[in-house]
Amino acid sequence: MPFILLKNLNLPSGLFTKQYIHNSQRRRLKRKLKGQKPEFKKKRLENNQKREELRNSKENSEGVTYKSNCNFTVDGEKEANHSKEKTSVDLCDKYFDYSTCDIVLDLKEATIVYFDLETTGRDGYPDITQIAAKRQDLIFNVYVCPTKDISAGASKLTNLCKVNGDIYHSYKLVDTLPIATALQAFKEFLNNKFNATKIILVAHNAAFDKRILMHHIIQKNMQKDFLMLAGFADSLKVLRKKIDKNIVSNYKLETLAKQFLTLPEDRFHDAVYDVTVLEDLSNNFDCSEELKTSIQFLGSCYEDIEKKNMIKRHLSNVSDLKNVLSETILKKLAIHKITYTDIVQLFQKEGEKGVRKMFMEKNKDNKIKVTNREKVFQDLFKYLNKNVI
Q: Is the pLDDT of residue 185 over 90?
A: yes
Query: Does the predicted model carry a pTM greater than 0.75?
Result: no
Question: What are the backbone dihedrals phi and psi of residue 256, each rounded to the nearest 5 degrees, phi first?
Answer: -65, -40
Give the Å distances, CA to CA, from 280 to 37, 253, 257, 274, 275: 58, 11, 9, 10, 9
Cα separation of 49 and 46, whole Å? 5
Q: Are 206 and 234 in contact (CB under 8 A)?
A: yes
b/e code 57-95 from CB counts within 10 Å (16+ = b)? eeeeeeeeeeeeeeeeeeeeeeeeeeeeeebbbbbbeee
Among 30-44, 141-155, 191-205, 281-295, the least confident range:
30-44
Cα separation of 303 and 226, whole Å? 16
Mean pLDDT, to the nearest integer, of 204-217? 94
Among 7-11, 124-128, 169-173, the least confident range:
7-11
Mean pLDDT, all residues of the chain? 83
Predicted confidence band at 38 (pLDDT cuts at 50, 70, 90)? confident
Q: Is the pLDDT of residue 156 over 50?
A: yes
Non-local CB neighbours of 214 within 8 Å, separated by 6+ positions? 88, 301, 302, 305
More confident residue, 36 or 2: 36
- CATH superfamily, domain 107-299, is Ribonuclease H-like superfamily/Ribonuclease H (3.30.420.10)
Q: Is the pLDDT of residue 109 over 90?
A: no
Q: Are 156 and 122 in contact (CB under 8 A)?
A: no
Residue boundaries of the structural domains of the chain: 2-68+82-95, 107-299, 322-387
138-143-145 Cα angle (round to 5): 155
Question: What are the backbone dihedrals phi and psi of residue 195, each rounded to the nearest 5 degrees, phi first?
Answer: 55, 35
Q: Is the pLDDT of residue 351 over 80?
A: yes
Predicted confidence band at 267 (pLDDT cuts at 50, 70, 90)? confident
Strand partners, 166: 163
Predicted confidence band at 79 (pLDDT cuts at 50, 70, 90)? very low
Q: Is the pLDDT of residue 135 over 50?
A: yes
Which pairing describes strands 138-144 and 176-177: parallel, antiparallel, or unpaired? parallel
Predicted confidence band at 236 (pLDDT cuts at 50, 70, 90)? very high
Cα separation of 212 and 203, whole Å? 12
Total number of residues shown for the chain: 389
Residue 36: what pLDDT?
A: 72
Q: Are 307 and 332 in contact (CB under 8 A)?
A: no
Mean pLDDT, to the nearest integer, of 321-331? 94
User: Percent of the chain at pLDDT above 70?
Assistant: 80
Non-local CB neighbours of 169 within 8 Å, separated by 6+ positions? 143, 158, 159, 160, 270
Residue 61: what pLDDT?
A: 53
Among 22-31, 91-100, 155-164, 184-193, the least confident range:
91-100
Mean pLDDT, to the nearest integer, of 30-36? 74
Among 50-64, 256-270, 293-307, 309-323, the least confident range:
50-64
Non-local CB neighbours of 120 within 8 Å, separated by 6+ positions? 126, 127, 129, 146, 148, 149, 150, 151, 154
More confident residue, 13 or 109: 109
